[in-house]
Amino acid sequence: MALMITDECISCDVCVPECPNEAISEGDEYYVIDSDLCTECVGHHDEPQCVEVCPVDCIPKDPDTQRHRKSCRPSSRSLAPNCEQTLQ
């Protein structure tokens, strides 16, 4: 799974520097998360850091991403080398 930023985003910018994979960028109206880069911080942190710092709680799991955390893609494994070992 990957995360997404909803339209409740206030574009405060606190999530951007927290992402170890640089998956968050400025969109047309609010910030967006690139689901191909998002690993939910697996291999870096115990919890997604963007979710931890978001002041308006607008970063849920993206229901449109079909990837399960246990099957990180090769590109995700290069971003989070401990991906397979960290997952339960």
- Listing DSSP states for 24-78 in one string gives EEE-SSSEEE-TTT--TTTTT-SS-HHHHH-TT----B-TT----GGG--HHHHH
9 assigned to some structural domain: no
Identify the domain containing residue 79 by its residue range. Answer: 16-86
- Tell me: the pLDDT tens digits for 37-70? 999 999 999 999 999 999 999 999 999 886 554 5
Which tokens in the block code for residue 79? 């971003």
Please count the structural domains in the chain: 1
53 assigned to some structural domain: yes
Query: Are 27 and 42 spatial neighbours (Cβ–Cβ below 8 Å)?
Result: no
Q: Compare 32 and 67 and report the one with higher pLDDT.
A: 32
1 assigned to some structural domain: no
Whole-number mean pLDDT of the chain?
Answer: 84
Domain containing 31 — which CATH number? Answer: 3.30.70.20
> Has residue 31 got a pLDDT over 80?
yes
